[in-house]
Amino acid sequence: MTVLTYLDSQGNYCMKILLLGEASFVHSTLRKGFETLGHDVTLVSAGCIWDCPRDIDLSRNMRFGMLSGLKVIWKILSNLNVFVGNDIVQMNDFHTLPLKLGWNKLFFKFIKRFNKKVVRGCWGDDIVVFDAQAKGVLAYSDTHIGTQPINVVENKWRIEEQHLPEFVSCCRYVNKHADAFSACLYEYYAYYNTDEYRTKLHYMPLPIEIPEAKDIRVKGGQWPIKVLVGIQKRRDFIKGASIIASLVEKIAAEYPDKVEVRKVYDVPYNEYCKMLEEADVLVDQLYSYTPAMNSLAAMARGTVVIGGGEEEYYEFIGEKELRPIINVRPHQDGYNLNVLRDALLTPGRISQMSRESAAFVRKHHDYMKVSRQYMEMFEILNK
């Protein structure tokens, strides 16, 4: 494969980059960063559940069945020049196309053959993740506490799907032939940190657009502390927000003048963002070790998050001072109540954590900083 990298008129290192697939605005945010750095970037995806922006839309309308799949194939064939001759192709997953796994495997072979380097994102469920969770690689996850399964009935379909022969075949093939892995969370890095993948594994923080200073308000300056609980009914068994909410509601019942809870279900994204602006605290995920996109976007605006903030995560990223997250753990209600009471009822504590939240995201997740980290990885791959 011919090297396509070049120097622009200012002597800057430039690349042709294809971003395939999407997950909660990660690729659309990276595209802005990469383009700001002077690179030629194309984003192709089905948009994910948030209908994220993209240059070429591969979404399917399943009402049309097989015809919708043929439309996806036609979109690829009619834009074939986009899918060849790139310095870097980054895929959000092994299952990038909204097509059967056989098509995805064939598509990966094509991408690998006609582009220089392929990076596979470790951003979600796959057989490596589920097998590592079952082995107790971390103390807890959304499927296990240690090696003990949880939410067995709810998780059954997720785990069984990833162990279907066609899923296993496609995942294993992509993993074997990918040139690098970009893990967006500490959890995924831990799951993939094995002899098989370690030499190609990179931790790449989630990219967040940092609001202007005038748009960041220090939260929690007065009673009551306003807590927002946004629940996606279909995915609550994975997130566990309703379990955290029950604990916060217990505290609110004890101290109604100090804690106020607003619980909403399946609200549209724009409406949810407006609610978030009014909240001091956001209830996010019970089963996570670390903050993901929803948490980080809230923290960037000064909203304090109840979710994943384990000490080993801070150690992993080298953070010695900031502790902005109200960390909760599954199946530890006593511990969680103590942590929540301390954070919500101690005067000035939420305001302090609000300042630390914005500072934390600015320090570790600013999208331009993360984009430069990606560029360092891409440049190493292209040598």
Lowest model confidence (mean pLDDT) among 44-53, 129-138, 288-297: 44-53
Compute the average pLDDT of residues 198-225. 94
The whole-chain average pLDDT of the chain stands at 93
Share of the chain above pLDDT 70, in %: 96
Please check the confidence at residue 251 and state whether its pLDDT lies above 80. yes
Residue type, 237: F
Looking at residue 273, what is its pLDDT? 80
Sign of the alpha-carbon dihedral angle for 359, 361, 365, 367: negative
Looking at residue 89, what is its pLDDT? 98
Taking only the tens place, the pLDDT of each residue in 80-122 is 999 999 999 999 999 999 999 999 999 999 999 999 999 999 9
Compute the average pLDDT of residues 245-254. 97
- Residue 12's alpha-carbon distances to 86, 342, 369, 372, in angstroms, are 18, 50, 17, 13
Look at 1 and 23; give whichever has higher pLDDT.
23
Please check the confidence at residue 1 and state whether its pLDDT lies above 50. no
Please check the confidence at residue 199 and state whether its pLDDT lies above 90. yes
Contact 183/189 with Cβ under 8 angstroms? Answer: yes
Q: How many other CB atoms are there within 10 angstroms of residue 270's CB atom?
A: 7
> What is the band of 59 on the pLDDT scale with cuts at 50, 70, 90?
confident
> What is the band of 24 on the pLDDT scale with cuts at 50, 70, 90?
confident
Q: Copy the structure tokens of residue 372.
A: 């430069």
**DSSP bridge pairs for 6:** 14
Contact 104/97 with Cβ under 8 angstroms? Answer: yes
Please check the confidence at residue 53 and state whether its pLDDT lies above 50. yes
b/e burial code for range 176-198 (CB count within 10 A of at least 16 → b): eebbbbbbbbbbbbbbbeeeebe
Please check the confidence at residue 9 and state whether its pLDDT lies above 70. no
Please check the confidence at residue 50 and state whether its pLDDT lies above 80. no
Please check the confidence at residue 11 and state whether its pLDDT lies above 90. no
Please check the confidence at residue 10 and state whether its pLDDT lies above 70. no
Looking at residue 177, what is its pLDDT? 98
Compute the average pLDDT of residues 267-280. 86
Residue 121 phi/psi, 5° resolution? Answer: -75, 135
Looking at residue 249, what is its pLDDT? 97
Looking at residue 36, what is its pLDDT? 96
> What is the band of 245 on the pLDDT scale with cuts at 50, 70, 90?
very high
Taking only the tens place, the pLDDT of each residue in 122-169 is 999 999 999 999 999 999 999 999 999 999 999 999 999 999 999 999
Q: How far is C-alpha 105 from the chain's CA centre?
A: 23
Please check the confidence at residue 328 and state whether its pLDDT lies above 80. yes
Looking at residue 8, what is its pLDDT? 56
Looking at residue 3, what is its pLDDT? 43
Taking only the tens place, the pLDDT of each residue in 336-345 is 999 999 999 9
Looking at residue 60, what is its pLDDT? 76
